[in-house]
Amino acid sequence: MPKTRSVFICSVCGQEHPKWNGRCNACGSWNTLEEAVVEKRTGNASAPKATLTMSKISGVDFPDETRYKTGMSELDRVLGGGLVKGSLVLLGGDPGIGKSTLLLQICSSLASGRTVLYVSGEESERQIKLRADRLGVDAEGLYISSCTDCDAVCEAMRSEKPDVVIIDSIQTMALTDIQSAPGSLVQVRECTGAFMRAAKALDISVFLVGHVNKDGGIAGPKVLEHIVDTVLYFEGDKQLSYRILRAAKNRFGSTNEIGVFEMRDKGLSEVTNPSAMLLSGRPAGISGITILCAMEGSRPIMAEVQALVAKTGFAAPRRVSAGFDYNRLCVLLAVLEKRTGYSFGGYDVYINIIGGLKIDEPASDLAVALALYSGLCDKVIGEDIAVFGEIGLGGELRAVSHIRQRVREAARMGFDKCIVPKSSLKELDKSEDYGIAIYGAANLKQAFKVLEAVAGEKKE
């Protein structure tokens, strides 16, 4: 019998400790150490010496990576152009957000001409079948199984050699020779390792579903993210129907891309024109609303910024922000006060980006600042105006990236005017007709003037 010993692993950062502690020395989290039993490593003098093989980088031959199309172009784009053969993809998200639905839906296309094994530790085969029927999934090469034994799944991968394996979810899988309960840190880590080895050795693509813990990370340590090739997060407000898929890590593509889906009664459908979706239902004639063109990866997306500026009843006015960085909001308020003379001291300020969208690029500054200005002065900003620009601490507008794509997207979505930083104008092609009037502003005050001028035009 091999000798065993106990170690304590932090469930947040994965640091191993020889003794239990109330607090993790590495990341400082409290009460996160879990006990794990590991085999003692014993030195064996008679074992053959390990050798390292080296290759010259120019001499390494590689076949073109094979990518499977999932039948959902939104997912393919986030993956970097399709599911890479032999890769391990972790899909995280809150319970009920649609992870199982998404993965079952892509089986339709993945399993035509290939074999796909869908293993669920959460649902019975009948339940999977019922769901598949509802989603209209019926492919020749799709096999389902209800199982929680990690070894059994790896054995099936070896003997049946499916092209794709879907594990729903990693928290339900367990290795029988590890004593911890399924979902515990050690089980999750060891099972992921086992799937990784099987995926690489057999060249099988594996999707792992991972539940998200209360802090928003995938339950289990960060180490999980180090093991796998790609980490995707499925986000969205459960009350709203749309869902956004983001890559947090991708060894085979960019992490800037997002995929947008809508949950319908027949499963998830792709939203290929998210701007139209996000702009629908926009109220007219209300102050405090601006439209921004944000870049999500290589894709421009129009988003609506709403600001509510209301007289405060508190000693310290409230600043609340949803979808926009709170500290950035405070900076913008300070810049507005200092550089343009508008005072928000006696007002509560609420910022909301519609659609549950999270915007974290500097180009959104101008839209937020103008929404605040509009809300404070109760001046309505025309519905046909889009704005983008970064604001410096001096109140100046700084150039933004991808100006051409943003302007084109605004024109495509039917906007007539856009306000951009003056310094971005030179990047616009003089010869191209963008089909939209472009106004350059050097600072916030000039942007206000442009707003007034275009509002005057409208009245005539």
Q: Which parts of this chain interact with ligand TYD (CB under 6 A)?
A: 93, 95-101, 131, 134-135, 263, 265-267
* Amino acid, single-letter form, for residue 145: S
Nearer to ligand TYD, 135 or 331 (CB): 135
In whole angstroms, how close is the CB of 337 to ligand TYD at the nearest point?
44
Asked if residue 376 lies in contact with residue 310, where contact means CB atoms within 8 angstroms, the answer is no
CA dihedral 355, 361, 364, 366 (to 10 degrees): 170
Rounded least distance, CB 322 to ligand TYD, Å: 22
Record the tokens describing residue 24, joined without a space: 């993790």
Residue 123 and residue 146 in contact, taking contact as beta carbons nearer than 8 Å: yes
Tell which residue, 33, 69, 333, 341, has the closest CA to residue 185: 33
- To the nearest 5 percent, what fractions of the chain are helix, strand and coil? 30, 30, 40
Query: Cβ closer to ligand TYD: 120 or 250?
Result: 120
Measured from the CB atom, the residue of 94 and 163 that comes closer to ligand TYD is 94
State which H helix or E strand residue 155 sits in.
Answer: helix 150-160
Closest CA to 191 of 204, 209, 205, 203: 209
Number of residues that bind Mg ion (CB under 5 A): 1
Beta carbons of 154 and 167 less than 8 angstroms apart: no
* H helix and E strand count, the chain: 11, 23
Nearer of residues 170 and 294 to Mg ion, judged by Cβ:
170
100, 131 contact by CB (below 8 A): yes
Residue 100 within binding range of Mg ion, rule CB under 5 A: yes
DSSP 174: B
Closer to ligand TYD by CB, 127 or 255: give it. Answer: 127
Type of residue at 401: S
Least Cβ distance, residue 123 to Mg ion (angstroms) = 7
Residue 95 or 216: the one with the smaller Cβ distance to ligand TYD is 95
Q: Verify binding: residue 171, Mg ion, rule CB under 5 A.
A: no
**Rounded least distance, CB 182 to ligand TYD, Å:** 17
Report the partner that residue 136 touches, choosing among Mg ion, ligand TYD, none (CB closer than 5 to 8 A by kind). Answer: none
We find the least distance from the C-beta atom of residue 420 to ligand TYD, in angstroms, to be: 40
In the bound state with ligand TYD, the residue whose beta carbon lies nearer, of 170 and 359, is: 170
Task: Choose the one of ligand TYD, Mg ion, none that binds residue 134, judging by a C-beta under 5 to 8 angstroms depending on kind.
Answer: ligand TYD
Q: Cβ 421 to Mg ion, closest distance in Å?
A: 45
Q: What is the 8-class DSSP label of residue 141?
A: T
- Is residue 32 part of the contact set for Mg ion (CB under 5 A)? no
State the nearest-atom distance from the C-beta of 292 to ligand TYD, in Å. 29
DSSP 88-104: EEEEEE-TTSSHHHHHH
Are the CB atoms for 124 and 130 separated by under 8 Å? no
Kindly state whether residue 275 participates in binding Mg ion, applying the rule CB under 5 A. Answer: no
Binding segment toward Mg ion, per CB under 5 A, in 92-100, 143-151, 285-293, 415-423? 92-100
**Least distance (Å) from Mg ion to the CB of residue 83?**
19
Answer with the entry of Mg ion, ligand TYD, none that 180 interacts with (C-beta below 5 to 8 A by kind): none
Buried (b) or exposed (e) across 431-460, using 16+ Cβ within 10 A? eeeeebebbbbebbebbbebbeebeeeeee
Residue placing its CB nearer to Mg ion in the complex, 124 or 272: 124
Pick one of Mg ion, ligand TYD, none as the site partner of residue 424 (Cβ within 5 to 8 A by kind).
Answer: none
Residues that bind Mg ion in the complex, under the rule CB under 5 A: 100
